[in-house]
Amino acid sequence: MKQNRDRQGADDGAYLITFVCYGTRLPGQFGAVDRSQNQFGAPKLEENAAKEAAARTKMAQEPYLLNAARREVLLKSVHQVCMHRGWMLFAAHVRTNHVHAVVGTNESAERVMNTFKVYASRALNAAGLDGPDRRRWARHGSTRHLYTKDAITAAVRYVVCEQGEPLAVYCAPAAC
Protein backbone atom coordinates (compact mmCIF):
# COMPACT_ATOMS: atom_id res chain seq x y z
CA MET A 1 0.00 0.00 0.00
CA LYS A 2 2.91 2.37 0.72
CA GLN A 3 3.98 2.09 -2.91
CA ASN A 4 0.57 3.37 -4.06
CA ARG A 5 0.80 6.35 -1.69
CA ASP A 6 4.31 7.15 -2.91
CA ARG A 7 3.13 7.00 -6.50
CA GLN A 8 0.15 9.29 -5.97
CA GLY A 9 -0.23 11.36 -9.08
CA ALA A 10 1.20 8.68 -11.35
CA ASP A 11 -2.03 6.69 -11.61
CA ASP A 12 -4.01 9.87 -12.19
CA GLY A 13 -1.33 11.34 -14.43
CA ALA A 14 0.66 14.23 -13.07
CA TYR A 15 2.73 16.45 -15.31
CA LEU A 16 5.03 19.42 -15.42
CA ILE A 17 3.81 21.29 -18.50
CA THR A 18 5.90 24.08 -20.04
CA PHE A 19 5.10 26.05 -23.16
CA VAL A 20 6.73 29.13 -24.60
CA CYS A 21 5.54 32.21 -26.42
CA TYR A 22 5.79 32.49 -30.18
CA GLY A 23 9.19 33.60 -31.42
CA THR A 24 10.90 33.81 -28.03
CA ARG A 25 13.02 30.64 -28.25
CA LEU A 26 14.25 30.03 -31.75
CA PRO A 27 16.40 27.28 -33.22
CA GLY A 28 20.01 28.38 -32.98
CA GLN A 29 19.56 30.29 -29.72
CA PHE A 30 21.52 29.06 -26.72
CA GLY A 31 19.56 26.40 -24.86
CA ALA A 32 17.11 25.78 -27.68
CA VAL A 33 15.85 22.24 -28.07
CA ASP A 34 15.19 20.50 -31.35
CA ARG A 35 13.40 17.25 -32.09
CA SER A 36 16.60 15.20 -32.17
CA GLN A 37 17.68 16.38 -28.70
CA ASN A 38 14.32 16.59 -26.93
CA GLN A 39 15.25 14.07 -24.24
CA PHE A 40 15.65 14.58 -20.51
CA GLY A 41 19.30 15.22 -19.71
CA ALA A 42 20.31 15.76 -23.34
CA PRO A 43 23.08 18.35 -23.75
CA LYS A 44 22.03 21.86 -24.73
CA LEU A 45 22.64 22.81 -28.31
CA GLU A 46 25.37 25.29 -29.17
CA GLU A 47 24.46 28.77 -30.35
CA ASN A 48 24.16 29.04 -34.11
CA ALA A 49 23.61 32.62 -35.31
CA ALA A 50 22.88 31.55 -38.90
CA LYS A 51 20.24 29.05 -37.80
CA GLU A 52 18.66 31.65 -35.50
CA ALA A 53 18.61 34.27 -38.27
CA ALA A 54 17.02 31.78 -40.68
CA ALA A 55 14.33 30.97 -38.12
CA ARG A 56 13.71 34.66 -37.47
CA THR A 57 13.17 35.37 -41.19
CA LYS A 58 10.43 32.70 -41.28
CA MET A 59 8.45 34.39 -38.50
CA ALA A 60 5.11 35.82 -39.62
CA GLN A 61 4.80 38.12 -36.59
CA GLU A 62 6.95 39.72 -33.91
CA PRO A 63 7.80 37.61 -30.84
CA TYR A 64 4.97 37.47 -28.31
CA LEU A 65 5.67 38.60 -24.76
CA LEU A 66 3.40 38.49 -21.74
CA ASN A 67 3.07 41.79 -19.88
CA ALA A 68 1.51 41.95 -16.40
CA ALA A 69 -2.09 42.14 -17.68
CA ARG A 70 -1.60 39.18 -20.05
CA ARG A 71 0.11 37.13 -17.34
CA GLU A 72 -2.83 37.60 -14.96
CA VAL A 73 -5.38 36.69 -17.65
CA LEU A 74 -3.36 33.63 -18.59
CA LEU A 75 -2.95 32.48 -14.97
CA LYS A 76 -6.68 32.86 -14.37
CA SER A 77 -7.46 30.87 -17.54
CA VAL A 78 -5.18 28.00 -16.47
CA HIS A 79 -6.90 27.89 -13.09
CA GLN A 80 -10.37 28.04 -14.70
CA VAL A 81 -9.72 25.24 -17.18
CA CYS A 82 -8.48 23.02 -14.35
CA MET A 83 -11.61 23.74 -12.32
CA HIS A 84 -13.85 23.17 -15.34
CA ARG A 85 -12.18 19.89 -16.35
CA GLY A 86 -11.71 18.57 -12.82
CA TRP A 87 -7.91 18.65 -13.08
CA MET A 88 -5.79 19.23 -9.99
CA LEU A 89 -3.67 22.35 -10.42
CA PHE A 90 -0.77 22.05 -8.01
CA ALA A 91 1.09 25.14 -9.21
CA ALA A 92 1.46 27.52 -12.13
CA HIS A 93 3.82 30.37 -12.96
CA VAL A 94 3.36 32.65 -15.94
CA ARG A 95 6.58 34.37 -16.97
CA THR A 96 7.18 36.97 -19.68
CA ASN A 97 7.91 34.39 -22.37
CA HIS A 98 6.78 31.02 -21.01
CA VAL A 99 4.34 29.20 -18.74
CA HIS A 100 4.91 26.37 -16.26
CA ALA A 101 2.10 24.32 -14.70
CA VAL A 102 2.07 21.25 -12.47
CA VAL A 103 -1.22 19.45 -12.99
CA GLY A 104 -2.80 16.12 -12.09
CA THR A 105 -5.30 14.58 -14.52
CA ASN A 106 -6.34 11.43 -16.39
CA GLU A 107 -5.88 13.28 -19.69
CA SER A 108 -2.73 13.01 -21.78
CA ALA A 109 -0.03 15.62 -21.21
CA GLU A 110 -0.36 16.78 -24.83
CA ARG A 111 -4.08 17.36 -24.41
CA VAL A 112 -3.53 19.30 -21.18
CA MET A 113 -0.92 21.57 -22.78
CA ASN A 114 -3.05 22.19 -25.88
CA THR A 115 -6.12 22.89 -23.74
CA PHE A 116 -4.15 25.44 -21.69
CA LYS A 117 -3.08 27.19 -24.90
CA VAL A 118 -6.63 27.27 -26.31
CA TYR A 119 -8.23 28.56 -23.11
CA ALA A 120 -5.49 31.16 -22.66
CA SER A 121 -5.92 32.41 -26.22
CA ARG A 122 -9.69 32.68 -25.79
CA ALA A 123 -9.28 34.56 -22.53
CA LEU A 124 -6.73 36.96 -24.05
CA ASN A 125 -9.06 37.56 -27.01
CA ALA A 126 -12.01 38.19 -24.68
CA ALA A 127 -9.93 40.63 -22.63
CA GLY A 128 -9.18 42.58 -25.82
CA LEU A 129 -5.44 42.40 -25.20
CA ASP A 130 -4.64 41.01 -28.66
CA GLY A 131 -6.36 40.41 -31.95
CA PRO A 132 -7.67 36.90 -32.66
CA ASP A 133 -5.07 36.42 -35.42
CA ARG A 134 -2.15 36.91 -33.02
CA ARG A 135 0.25 33.99 -32.84
CA ARG A 136 0.95 33.45 -29.17
CA TRP A 137 2.45 30.02 -28.64
CA ALA A 138 5.37 28.09 -30.03
CA ARG A 139 4.57 24.69 -31.44
CA HIS A 140 4.49 21.96 -28.81
CA GLY A 141 6.30 22.46 -25.48
CA SER A 142 7.62 20.25 -22.71
CA THR A 143 5.51 17.59 -21.01
CA ARG A 144 7.23 15.77 -18.17
CA HIS A 145 5.49 12.95 -16.37
CA LEU A 146 5.71 13.06 -12.58
CA TYR A 147 5.50 9.56 -11.12
CA THR A 148 5.79 10.14 -7.36
CA LYS A 149 4.72 12.57 -4.65
CA ASP A 150 8.37 13.62 -4.34
CA ALA A 151 8.51 14.38 -8.07
CA ILE A 152 5.35 16.48 -7.80
CA THR A 153 6.75 18.32 -4.78
CA ALA A 154 10.03 19.01 -6.60
CA ALA A 155 8.16 20.26 -9.67
CA VAL A 156 6.01 22.60 -7.55
CA ARG A 157 9.14 23.98 -5.88
CA TYR A 158 10.76 24.49 -9.28
CA VAL A 159 7.71 26.29 -10.69
CA VAL A 160 6.98 28.47 -7.66
CA CYS A 161 10.41 29.16 -6.18
CA GLU A 162 13.07 28.64 -8.85
CA GLN A 163 11.95 30.90 -11.69
CA GLY A 164 13.40 34.15 -10.46
CA GLU A 165 11.24 37.03 -9.30
CA PRO A 166 7.65 35.77 -8.89
CA LEU A 167 5.35 37.15 -11.57
CA ALA A 168 1.87 35.57 -11.93
CA VAL A 169 2.00 32.57 -9.59
CA TYR A 170 -0.52 30.08 -8.24
CA CYS A 171 0.22 27.37 -5.69
CA ALA A 172 -2.48 25.09 -4.31
CA PRO A 173 -2.63 25.33 -0.50
CA ALA A 174 -1.95 21.59 -0.14
CA ALA A 175 1.08 21.81 -2.44
CA CYS A 176 2.88 24.75 -0.85
56-81, pLDDT tens digit by residue? 678 789 999 999 999 999 999 999 99
Calpha distance 74→123 (Å, rounded)? 7
- For residues 124 and 35, the model is more confident at 124
Residues 115 and 144 both lie in one domain:
yes
Residue-level pLDDT at 140: 87
Burial of 153 (0-12, 13-18, 19+ CB in 10 A): middle
Dihedral through CA 127, CA 84, CA 17, CA 11, nearest 10? 180
| Residue 88 forms part of a structural domain | yes
**What Rg value do the Cα atoms of the chain yield, rounded?**
17
Residues 56 and 132 both lie in one domain:
no
* Residue 116: alpha-carbon gap to chain centroid: 8
Residues 79 and 15 both lie in one domain:
yes
Residues 92 and 33 both lie in one domain:
no
95-148, pLDDT tens digit by residue? 999 999 999 999 999 999 999 999 999 999 999 998 889 999 998 899 999 999
Count of C-beta atoms within a 10 Å radius of residue 34:
11
Q: 48: domain range?
A: 26-62
pTM of the prediction?
0.83
